[in-house]
Amino acid sequence: MSEGRGVDDERLHEGPAGGARGGAEAVDEKRRKVVQWLWRLPVIAVAAGGGYGLYEAIRVHFRKLEAEAEPEFEARPATPVASLATFAAVWDSAEFELPSAAAGEPPTPALAVRLPGPVPGGIALDTGLNVASAYLAAFSRVCTHQQCIVSLNRDVTAINIGFNHQTDSPALTCACHLSVFDPRQGGKAVSGPAVRPLPRVRLEVRGDQLYATGIERA
């Protein structure tokens, strides 16, 4: 009997200590798991960032949208752009503002330019001998990336180096984030973060004047 009580007493003494040790081990195990997840978080963040960067790179470089072959225009008040004499040579241009269709909204900055060949959405001027001699097109100057204002850049070297886009012709460029749009391709974004082409502006000839009468639907 005394031996049984001795064993029981020993177990009673060891019981709380053993329970404490077991509890400490459980806490340590939880801490180890937390630490394991904590060091994984930067790895997960880097992987997620790399995945998003890859997606953006593919979208920006390989998923640029083509200009529609037959653009649909939203009517705007007829606006004089310039006299036809303004476009005597290829790459001659004129900037203008196209009024909004809704009262109170700001006008759209735009640009008309004479191009070396026909483009969808542009017009051809005839010599009177049924031979097209001049091709004109107009575009919104609002960049489709973050709404900065684009300009016609005739400095091909600057486009090649400063905008990191190899070309042998002038282009519409955005100085904010270095997007480049090719008017010969209907305003398509060909370099930089912009993906969508510039909206085209509908042109009409009235006498010896060029008018803008609409803008491509978004």
For 142-183, the pLDDT digits (tens) are 999 999 999 999 999 999 999 999 999 999 999 999 999 999
* 145 lies in the same domain as 54: no
CA atoms within 13 A on the CB side of 209: 9
pTM, two decimals, is 0.73
Q: Which candidate, 196, 103, 87, places its Cα nearest to that of 137?
A: 87
Q: pLDDT-based confidence at 8, cuts 50/70/90? A: low
pLDDT in tens, 95-151: 999 999 888 899 999 999 999 999 999 999 886 656 668 999 999 999 999 999 999
Does 138 lie in the same domain as 195? yes
35 phi-psi bin (left φ>0, alpha ψ -120 to 50, beta other) = alpha
Number of separate domains in the chain? 2
Same domain membership, residue 185 and residue 78: yes
| 2-11, 61-70, 104-113, 193-202: least confident range | 2-11
Cross-strand pairs, 75:
214
Q: In this structure, are 124 and 173 located in the same domain?
A: yes
- The boundaries of the domain holding residue 32 are 1-63
Radius of gyration of the chain (CA): 34
48 and 91 co-located in one domain: no
CATH of the domain at 166: 2.102.10.10
Q: Do 156 and 98 fall into the same domain? A: yes
Confidence of residue 55 (pLDDT cuts 50, 70, 90): very low
**Same domain? 85 vs 188:** yes
Could you tell me if 178 and 189 are in contact, meaning their C-beta atoms sit under 8 angstroms apart?
no
Task: Establish if 183 belongs to a structural domain.
Answer: yes
Do the domain assignments include residue 68? no
Query: What is the secondary structure of the chain as a DSSP string?
Result: -HHHHHHHHHHHHHHHHHHHHHHHHHHHHHHHHHHHHHHHHHHHHHHHHHHHHHHHHHHHHH-PPPPPSS--EEEEEEEEEEEGGGG-STT-EEEEEEPPSSTTSPPEEEEEEEESS--TT-EEEE-SSS-EEEEEEEEE-B-TTT--B-EEE--HHHHHHHS----SS-EEE-TTT--EEEGGGTSEEEESS--SPPPEEEEEEETTEEEEEEEE--
Looking at the structure, do residues 82 and 11 belong to the same domain, yes or no? Answer: no
